[in-house]
Structure 1
Amino acid sequence: MATVVTREAYFETGLEVLSALGYGGLKLAEVCNRLGVTTGSFYHYFESWSAYTRDLVGDWFLALTVKRVEALRAEPDPRKRIDAIFDIGFHLPHGAESAIRSWSSVDPHVRAVQVMIDRERVDVLTKAALEILGDQRLAQLFARWALYLLVGYEQSTLPPDADGLAWMVAQQLDALDSGRFSAPPESTPWLYG
């Protein structure tokens, strides 16, 4: 008897495949094999492979960003909000996130979603940091620092080092708590052109 799976199971499995095999490993046969279903079962939920991949990226955006950001905004204490943001960052499916970021370099739809996700993540961190630091530019830099740290961790070819990442985040949070920031630059032309 064939296994019955949910639409959500296809998305979870797609992220698992991305995490394990990268964007190049995301194939219909791999997803179906992992779920123990036929391609006919797949087409019960999705009209085509491109519809599935579009919906997979949309589900990733909704589940791992939009819903979490909405919950974070409900926390009135900005420092607790920042702790929650970093906790979410520690528990992201880093392999899948890395694969999706690579995928975004060749697929305009995935790129557009990636841009929205980066903006949402930076926006929620900037707003929380602004409440603590009182300086818009400094808050933006703090948020970008966190995003750059996360993206670098996910994209690096070095072996994952969760303890090292936790130490780096602790250093960033210590700087926030102690207010040990130098004046932020207004612009740094040599960085951009």
Structure 2
Amino acid sequence: MPQLTRQDWLRHGLSILAEQGVDALRIGNLCTQLGVTKGSFYHHFSDHQAFLEALLEHWETEQTLRFIEESQEGETVQAQLRILTDRVLTSFGGHEIHIRSWAHSDPLAHAFQTRVDEQRVSYLYQLYRQLIDDDTQALAMAHLAYTTLIGSINMIPPLTAVQYEQITKLFEPLLRSLSQKDEH
């Protein structure tokens, strides 16, 4: 196997987290699964804690900041919401469940989960606020959309992409009824 880059370690770390949970992120286990020595790990990370922090930063960047950036390519709010939904449906995986669980027992994971939840809800609020004239209702819609997503991936078994999309379609008439801009 060619030498692993820092990004390789982080991508593999998220994959292992998604499939096996946070306990599988031990240095020895990571090295065994990747077929490399611990020296490869320490070439990129000073210690296990530094790896976990980098992994959470990578998750935040890839699963939140990048999603937001890509959705902003949409020309309308509806297009931005569609891009965001499509991205979530194709990319959210087991790592979301495991990080949320991990956040209940680890201060670092808790801090990242809190920040990511705040970023996601804030962005949804910004989008819904363009459609809904009332701040309280726009925030409630952002919370409804986000908690629907979190609930759908935490169900056992998780909802399929088709089932989730069917649920999100139910938001359309609700949005129309809340939108003051549609009436003018």
TM-score where L is the length of structure 1: 0.84
Match of 2:95 in 1: 96
Shift of 1:104: 0.6
- Where 1:134 maps in the other structure, the secondary structure is coil
Tell me if the contact between 1:65 and 1:121 (Cα under 8 Å) persists in the aligned partners.
yes
Aligned pairs, number = 179
- Which shifted more, 32-41 or 116-125? 32-41
- Where 2:131 maps in the other structure, the secondary structure is helix
- Where 1:47 maps in the other structure, the secondary structure is coil
| Correspondences of 1:113-192 after superposition (within 5 Å) | 113-176=112-175, 179-181=176-178
Gap runs ≥5 in structure 2 = 179-184
- Which shifted more, 101-110 or 89-98? 89-98
Shift of 1:134: 1.4
Tell me if the contact between 2:152 and 2:158 (Cα under 8 Å) persists in the aligned partners.
no
Moved over 6 A (4+): none
Tell me if the contact between 2:19 and 2:94 (Cα under 8 Å) persists in the aligned partners.
yes
Match of 1:30 in 2: 29
Shift of 1:159: 4.5
- Where 1:169 maps in the other structure, the secondary structure is helix
Question: Structure 2: how far apart are the matches of 1:25 and 1:35?
Answer: 12
- Where 1:52 maps in the other structure, the secondary structure is helix
Match of 1:16 in 2: 15
Report the aligned-residue RMSD: 1.9
Look up the equivalent residue of 1:84 and give its one-letter code: I
- Identity within the alignment, %: 26
Gap runs ≥5 in structure 1 = 182-193
Match of 2:104 in 1: 105
Q: Deviation digits for residues 56-107 of structure 1, max 9, x if unmatched?
A: 0011112221233234345452111111221222123320111011111111
TM-score where L is the length of structure 2: 0.88
Shift of 1:20: 0.6
Tell me if the contact between 2:121 and 2:143 (Cα under 8 Å) persists in the aligned partners.
yes
Tell me if the contact between 2:18 and 2:98 (Cα under 8 Å) persists in the aligned partners.
yes
- Where 2:91 maps in the other structure, the secondary structure is coil
- Where 1:132 maps in the other structure, the secondary structure is coil
